[in-house]
A and B are shown apart, each in its own frame.
Chain A
Amino acid sequence: AQKVTQAQTEISVVEKEDVTLDCVYETRDTTYYLFWYKQPPSGELVFLIRRNSFDEQNEISGRYSWNFQKSTSSFNFTITASQVVDSAVYFCALSGRETSGSRLTFGEGTQLTVNP
């Protein structure tokens, strides 16, 4: 079975603070993929990043960065110098290629509120 845990239900920060959203996953597959999505108040999920299990290199995209550590089964997401527009629900998702094909297993999400 696959599982994604986002232990932080809600996070509230003040603008310009850095914030890290945690994601811990479980899978028995040797080949798997991890994703992060953003869901603003409008409701539509916006794709942020895809990472496969063989690529542990951290990635940075503007104010966003991701830390993938297979040793701890974590794929954490950091927003640097947060802005009010970052307020949204963020979902981490997992797909094990052998057991689930293209199906995604989502975490429960973390509600991020950035206050001015």
Chain B
Amino acid sequence: DGGITQSPKYLFRKEGQNVTLSCEQNLNHDAMYWYRQDPGQGLRLIYYSQIVNDFQKGDIAEGYSVSREKKESFPLTVTSAQKNPTAFYLCASSISGIASVFEQFFGPGTRLTVL
């Protein structure tokens, strides 16, 4: 089955620690995205990548880092510099088009809690 997987589903972190959230897709999509969702709010874009070995900051990139070494994988690291990292993190992917914008498909999410 084609889709997007995220792991772990729940993650607990102590203050001052870096943690990495995994996102893998087998949809053969070029573009991948990371969003953060806080309770009762919409999604905010952290980073996105249109192609392997390239990525851009979204609206709230401070305290986060990403890499895109493989088409299928787009891991997100939440660093100790992120002051309020407790949130629900969603990864998405889409076809990348020059003349059009395509729908994004989402993974099941990772719920990060800082203790």
Contacts and interface: CB of A to CB of B under 8 A. Distances in A.
A62 interface: no
B96 interface: yes
Contact of B42 (A43, A46, A91): A91
A64 interface: no
Interface in B31-72: 31, 40-45, 48, 50, 58
B107 interface: yes
Interface string B72-115: 00000000000000001010101011001111111111010000
Given A102-B48, A106-B42, A109-B42, A42 B108 contact: yes
Given A102-B31, A102-B94, A95 B43 contact: no
B45 A108 contact: no
A43 B109 contact: yes
Given A45-B90, A95-B101, A103 B45 contact: yes
Interface residues of A, number: 23
Given A45-B90, A91-B43, A109-B42, A104 B108 contact: no
A109 B102 CA distance: 20
Contacts of B109: 43-44
A47 B42 contact: no
A50 B103 CA distance: 7
A95 B92 CA distance: 15
A97 B98 CA distance: 9
A42 B111 CA distance: 11
B101 A101 contact: yes
Given A44-B109, A47-B104, A97-B100, A103 B42 contact: no
Contact of A102 (B41, B44, B88, B102): B102
Contact of B106 (A33, A45, A52, A95): A45
Interface of A: 4, 33, 35, 37, 42-47, 50, 52, 91, 95, 97, 101-104, 106-109
